[in-house]
Structure 1
Amino acid sequence: MKRIRINKGKIGLVFRNGDYIKILKAGTHWVWFFDKVGICNMSQPFTVSMELNILLQDEELADMLEVVEVLDNELVLKYENGVFNEVLKPGRYAYWKGSTNYAFKKVDLSKVDITEDIPVNILYKTDIFPYVRIYRVESYEKGLLFVDDKFIKELNQGVYCFWKNNTPVLVMKADLRQTQLEISGQELLTKDKAAIRISFFSTYKVVNAMKALTENQDYKKQLHVTLQLALREYVGTLTLDEILERKEEVADFIMGSVREKSVDYGIELSDGGIRDIILPGEVKEIMNQVLVAQKRAQANIITRREETASTRSLLNTAKLMEDNTMLFKLKEMEYVEKIADKINTISLSGGGQVVDQLKEIFSTDR
């Protein structure tokens, strides 16, 4: 015989010739010399190489163990002392009772909805995340839930979790915010055969997510093509000059035409217009020449108008001086003064008429 000491929190399993005999609880025990004693820590899962069913035939041992069976298409969430610990996959597990407070939550993976009371933060854990499908719908989005290719319901803002299995789950999302669509540099041919490029923008938002996502393969692309066709159709009925003069009318027609069709796409147009009109190099050069000629003609008109006004002013002045000798003399003195400013020295003789002598000096007939 040999003495075996089993400490608290431990359990001994006695084997004789490979067969399980009995358990040894905490304390001192005597066993046969050839018996083998395996020591188990009660704070750890119960794991032995022998078949569990054979060991459970011992009622005393069976009462000390909590056995968890996980079937196919099932998972078990194991909690230790109220804290999530791990996920148990299909199989059979045994844990010691009393030492650790275990809790087990079984889930059915064959269904789509997560009906079990499991916090979302637990679903993000590394162990369980591979078994979960998680979708987030933002505040500016509308979601559509399809299960097994069948529409189930609309989804508002929130986080939606489903078990990952063979049943297909699809969440389609539509952005409900105002969105701007731009057609950049669309090449068009006007009525007078001028090739131009127009950049057009439009602002829209989704008002019917079901129609936009399920009845149209790509509502954004369809709106883009519809705007292009409407722009091409209307521009082809106008000459280049008409387009340049009536840009606002062009935008109003395009928006009115496309707005009716946009209802079928589940969207609503709110604004739009022509951003740029790009002319070919030859047309641009010709228009620049026309503009320069127009401005030059306007400048000539202004110049002639000013010359006419100046001549009229001189004529009025001449008439006044003709009727008023004193005014004529003052005008003479004014011109003499201006000329004298440019001469350093002027010599006058005698005490005669100074003005007459100055007139004689500056006379052009001299």
Structure 2
Amino acid sequence: MKRVRITNGSVGLVFKNGELIKVLEKGTHWLFFNEMLIRYDLTKRLELPVAFEMVKDCNELIEMLHVVEVKDQELVLVFENGNFREVLTSGRHLFWNKLLDYNFIKADMSQLEIPKEIDSNLLSRYELARFVRVFEVSAHEEALLMIDDVYTQKLNAGIYRFWKNDTSVKIARVDLRHLQLEVSGQELLTKDKAAIRINFFANHKVVNSEKAILDNKDYSKQLYVALQLSLRAFVGQYTLDELLSNKVTIAESVFTEVLEVTEDLGVQLLSCGIKDVILTGEMKDIMNQVLIAEKRAQASVITRREETASTRSLLNTAKLMADNEMLYKLKEMEYVEKIADKIGEITLNGNGGMVKQLKEIFAVNT
């Protein structure tokens, strides 16, 4: 015989010829020959050396165990003394019920929805995260949920989690912010056959995500084409000069026409306009020449107008001086003063008045 001691927190299983014959708890015990003792820690999972079916009839052992059966497409979350410990997959799992308080939550992974009793904070733990699909919808987005390619529901901003299984789960996101669509570099012909390039823009937002995603393929591209065709149609009705003068009118016309299309696209058109009208190289040279000619003509008109005004002023002054001898003398002295400012030194003698002598000096002999 052999004496063995089972300490606190342990259990001993005695096997003889591969069969479980007794369970030993805390204390001193005796083993007979051919009996084998296996000690187990009550804080750890039980791993039997034989199949469970060979010991399931031992009521003494079964009463000390939690027997957790996990089927395919199931998960079991194990909580030890209220704290999450591990995840159990398909199979049979044995836990001692003597020392620690265990709690088990079973989840059916054949269903997409994750049970509410599972704390969402646990779903980010590695043990669980590998079994979960995560979709995030930003604050400025809306999403459509597709299950097995069938539209199910609309998702607002938030984080959504589903079990990983054979079911196909997809989401289609839609940006709900104000968006700007650029229709750039459109090469067009005006009514007078002038070749130009136009950069056009349109501000819009999605107001019906189901219609935009489910009823239309690439709603943004369809809006682009509608703007492009409408712009071409209106530009062809104007000459180049009319186009440059009526950019706002053309933008308003395009806006009104495209509004009929946007409703079917699930989009609201907010505003649009022409950003740039770009002339080709040859047309740009011609327009520059026209502009230079116009500015020269304007400058010539202004010069002639000023010359006419100056001549008229001189004529009026001459008439006044002819009628008023004193005014004539004052004007004469004014010019003498101006001329004298240009001369450094003037010598006068005593014969005659100073004004008269200055007049004689600056007079031009004819």
Instruction: State the TM-score, normalizing by the size of structure 2.
Output: 0.95
Q: Give 3-state SS (helix, strand or coil) of 2:152's partner.
A: strand
Equivalence for 2:315: 315
Matches within 5 A, 1:47-196: 47-196=47-196
1:218 & 1:141 partners in 2: Cα distance? Answer: 17
In 2, Cα distance between equivalents of 1:47 and 1:9: 16
2:277 aligned partner? 277
Letter in 1 for 2:170: L
Give the Cα separation in 2 of the matches to 1:346 and 1:230: 83
For 2:141 and 2:349, the matched residues in 1 are separated by: 106
**Worse overlay, 321-330 or 346-355:** 346-355
* Distance in structure 2 (CA, Å) of the matches to 1:364 and 1:124: 109
Q: Distance in 2 between matches of 1:341 and 1:160?
A: 94
Which secondary structure does the structure 2 equivalent of 1:191 belong to? coil
C-alpha displacement at 1:129, in angstroms?
A: 1.8
In 1, Cα distance between the equivalents of 2:349 and 2:180?
A: 92
Cα-to-partner distance string for 1:205-247 (whole Å, 9 max, x where unaligned): 1111111110011111111111111112222222222211110
Report the more deviating stretch, 341-350 or 278-287. 341-350
Residues 73, 320 of structure 1: alpha-carbon distance in 2 compared, 3 angstrom cutoff: same
Residue 3 of structure 1, CA deviation: 0.9
Distance 1:339 1:173 in 2: 87
1:287 maps to amino acid? M
Report the counterpart of residue 5 of structure 2 in structure 1: 5
Q: For 1:127, what is the secondary structure of its paired residue?
A: helix
Contact 1:7 1:26 in 2 (8 A): yes
Quick check: 2:5–2:29 contact (8 Å CA) kept in 1? yes
Q: C-alpha distance in 2, partners of 1:27/1:78?
A: 30
Measured against aligned partners, the alpha-carbon deviations of 1:245-288 in whole angstroms (never above 9, x if no partner) come to 11011101111111101111011101110011111111111111
Alignment check: 8 A CA contact 1:107 1:116 kept: no
Check conservation: 2:176, 2:206, Cα contact below 8 A.
yes
Aligned residues: 366
Q: 2:56 is aligned with what amino acid?
A: L
Deviation at 1:41, TM superposition (A): 0.3
- For residue 130 of structure 2, give the secondary structure of its aligned residue in structure 1: helix
- Residue pairs, 1:171-320, within 5 angstroms: 171-320=171-320
Alignment of 1:362 onto 2:362: yes
State the alpha-carbon separation in 2 of the partners of residues 73 and 352 from structure 1.
134
Q: Alpha-carbon deviation of 1:33?
A: 4.3
Letter in 1 for 2:231: L
- 2: CA distance, partners of 1:100 / 1:22: 22
Q: CA RMSD in A?
A: 1.7
Using the TM superposition, give the Cα deviation of residue 116 of structure 1 relative to its aligned residue in structure 2, in angstroms. 4.5
Indicate the larger mover: 94-103 or 190-199: 190-199
CA–CA separation in structure 2 for the residues paired with 1:48 and 1:153: 48
For 2:346, what is the secondary structure of its paired residue?
Answer: coil
Q: List per-residue Cα deviations over 1:93-126 (Å, max 9, x = no partner).
A: 0000021111111111112222452122222221
| Offset of residue 34 of structure 1 | 4.0
Per-residue deviation at 1:146?
2.6
User: Aligned pair in 2 of structure 1 residues 302, 10: CA closer, same or farther (>3 Å)?
Assistant: same
Q: Give, in whole Å, the separation in 1 of the partners of 2:354 and 2:121.
A: 114
Q: Give, in angstroms, the shift of residue 349 of structure 1.
A: 3.1
- Measured in 1, the distance between the counterparts of 2:350 and 2:137 equals 112
Of 211-220 and 110-119, more deviation after overlay is shown by 110-119
Deviation at 1:365, TM superposition (A): 0.5
Offset, 1:307: 0.9
What TM-score results when the alignment is normalised by the length of structure 1?
0.95
* Structure-1 separation of matches of 2:220 and 2:302: 54
Flag the 1:213–1:365 CA change in 2: closer, same or farther, 3 A.
same
Matched residues in 1 for 2:116 and 2:328: separation? 116
Preserved CA contact (<8 Å) 2:75 2:89? yes
List alignment gaps of at least 5 residues for structure 1.
none
With over 3 angstroms needed to count, the CA separation of the structure-2 counterparts of 1:130 and 1:357, relative to structure 1, is same
Q: Percent identity?
A: 53
Paired letter, 1:143: A
Partners of 2:174 and 2:346 in 1: CA distance: 97
SS in 1 for 2:127: coil
Q: Please give the alpha-carbon distance, in whole angstroms, between the structure 1 residues aligned to 2:76 and 2:19.
A: 31
